[in-house]
Structure 1
């Protein structure tokens, strides 16, 4: 085994105790700049902080390599979700957990620790490899903001791997696009007991629309959810405002737009129906905000990044299946911008909960896989 598991663990422990909730990645970014510079990379932090609102920009570390081969990207994100302050990692039977009422931070600091250990191993073993471009983003957990703001023209790689998944025996090649919507229904307030006739319930109008919408799994490629509904201030006041927020996701872009339009139409019909019988022709009325949250990922199964990972896994007597998921990641943004980045796992489990955990063996396995990927790509050996 080439990977130094003890060293990998030390780095992981060091990183997770540095608080870095989304927007507050400054301290961990400074530490990573030092680490990658000491490893011989050309390191810079981009200027995306003004767009994302983070303390810092995305970190890019470029290793020149010794082989004339196309650069490969290795990527993860620096931010964590809450509760992510004062993390105390504890090792139990080879598995890291959080000791307190916090997440562990393996999402995604297990990825960063793995990448650092890979590049240290390359240097220590004097491996002759291709150029490697490490891209660590900010605000991934806030809507992929760092990746969205990243100027891809400044990167040298056009394919690579993102370490941001649980499955150590799968590479994510297909993920949906998503539209997000915010609707505001304006009715008329009135005393619910004394003068209900003068009121117009925004809740009733919104509920009528929602009842006409199919939620959950729409088909094999499409889902829809309304996750937020705010309305009303007291039980004796007819509510004059209802706020509804939700999303549509689909692997089929045409279907994504079709379902989004159906939802908008359902609300428009409900508002019109209520207005037709309203004593006030100006109420209710409807405001909508539609946001293209993120694009899809659709890496073909014969793409070189897929074949590289599968070849590396084969060489290690492991399986590596292509995986379709229902969530988004930085890979979605990179794909739209011209970088095919398959998502592979570090073994982290129970993400975004205080039960989050990751095993040393899975992190070592992921690091070994990446070393093999780099060796294969650098050697130029056939992938088919």
Structure 2
């Protein structure tokens, strides 16, 4: 029942609507017109108060069998940068931006998949569970739409996020990540007149960093010191240095262990302080996103496996090293995995979309929803 041409044309329409992070309103309004015509109930939450977007998250309810639990389907509205004059062209089954730069595959391909799915369900008349469609804002700048979503508005306990590359690879695992800020305080002095009275914050920070690992720590953990800022002039001993970085791991204990090692190392370098309290060190950490891991026996994957079998597809369960809305949905009690939509080279000037894979993703999702409508998740 999937119409590949209709799907492709919908993506091209979406690609022409500029929707960078914090400016997703025009795309959301377009989706309201689409889904209301398909019988959906559309409304916004109040996340814009916190997310900085010009619109809230768009939630769409598609009626289905009232005796079945609803399924969540989600994609994000924003692109990583503006695309005001995108010119999509198709060559040999590939859609790219003729002008170079983003074509909007991340994540307008996911939105197009959901639209075509709902149209196909209407055309076929197939039985299906109620669907809760969530189109989030500000995913690209910190998952803010998903963070500030009012989860009391949703009934679904499981679902699928449309925000990856290959539909044959299902993301079932992603790491936790924290970002941190370290401040080292030395003592300023004139470098020519009395350098011995100074304490170089740059030298202290360099000594601490030289003692610490960086990059890939093990197969599931990375540490990066990403920025360092300090000093005012070449004739002043630098008084302050600010270092920013991040830790990612599939094991929370490893994050905590690395964070403690960083703190201990900087404390050692900055001790003992002199009578004026210098050198000094302070540290602050905050969450970027929580980790998630979905058990292969969870119904969300059993349903997906059944759908893939119907299509003769072989699925691979994979892990991601990045964060997505799925991290946030899972933490809030909605078990989600991530499906690929055919996007490639995202966030780069070479971004493109494999149309065949977008079609395959839509067929897979259709079989998922129809299988659920047939009672595949009901007790025997």
Q: Please give the secondary structure, in 1, of the residue aligned with 2:133.
A: strand
Q: In 1, are the aligned partners of 2:303 and 2:377 still within 8 Å (CA)?
A: no
Equivalences for residues 293-304 of structure 1 within 5 A: 293-304=288-299
- Please list the CA deviations of residues 52-109 of structure 1 after superposition, one character each: whole Å capped at 9, or x if unmatched: 1111111110111146311111111001112534322221221111122431211111
1:336 aligns with 2:335: no
Deviation at 1:239, TM superposition (A): 2.1
Deviation at 1:381, TM superposition (A): 3.4
Partner Cα distance (1:23, 1:169) in 2: 31
Structure-2 residue corresponding to 1:354: 349
Structure-2 residue corresponding to 1:308: 303
Sort the Cα spacing of 1:231 and 1:309 in 2 relative to 1 into closer, same or farther, 3 A. Answer: same
Q: In 2, are the aligned partners of 1:67 and 1:128 still within 8 Å (CA)?
A: no
1:249 aligns with 2:244: no
Deviation at 1:313, TM superposition (A): 1.1
- Please list the CA deviations of residues 272-329 of structure 1 after superposition, one character each: whole Å capped at 9, or x if unmatched: 25x35xxx63222223221022111111110011111111111111111211221111
What are structure 2's unaligned runs of at least 5 residues? none
Q: Please give the secondary structure, in 2, of the residue aligned with 1:291.
A: strand
What are structure 1's unaligned runs of at least 5 residues? none
Partner Cα distance (1:78, 1:170) in 2: 22
Structure-2 residue corresponding to 1:63: 62
- Please list the CA deviations of residues 162-197 of structure 1 after superposition, one character each: whole Å capped at 9, or x if unmatched: 011112112111111111101122223333344322
Partner Cα distance (1:38, 1:138) in 2: 23
Equivalences for residues 255-266 of structure 1 within 5 A: 255-266=254-265
Partner Cα distance (2:24, 2:271) in 1: 47
Deviation at 1:235, TM superposition (A): 3.2
Partner Cα distance (1:83, 1:235) in 2: 39
TM-score, scaled relative to structure 1 = 0.94
Q: Please give the secondary structure, in 2, of the residue aligned with 1:113.
A: helix
Partner Cα distance (2:346, 2:33) in 1: 28
Q: In 1, are the aligned partners of 2:3 and 2:116 still within 8 Å (CA)?
A: yes
Q: In 1, are the aligned partners of 2:299 and 2:377 still within 8 Å (CA)?
A: no
Partner Cα distance (2:72, 2:185) in 1: 49
Structure-2 residue corresponding to 1:158: 157
Sort the Cα spacing of 1:144 and 1:198 in 2 relative to 1 into closer, same or farther, 3 A. Answer: same
1:187 aligns with 2:182: no
Q: Pick one of 358, 364, 369 that aligns with 2:359.
A: 364
Structure-1 residue corresponding to 2:376: 381
Structure-1 residue corresponding to 2:340: 345
Partner Cα distance (1:333, 1:382) in 2: 24
Q: Please give the secondary structure, in 1, of the residue aligned with 2:156.
A: coil
TM-score, scaled relative to structure 2 = 0.95
Structure-2 residue corresponding to 1:319: 314
Structure-2 residue corresponding to 1:5: 4
Partner Cα distance (1:314, 1:235) in 2: 67
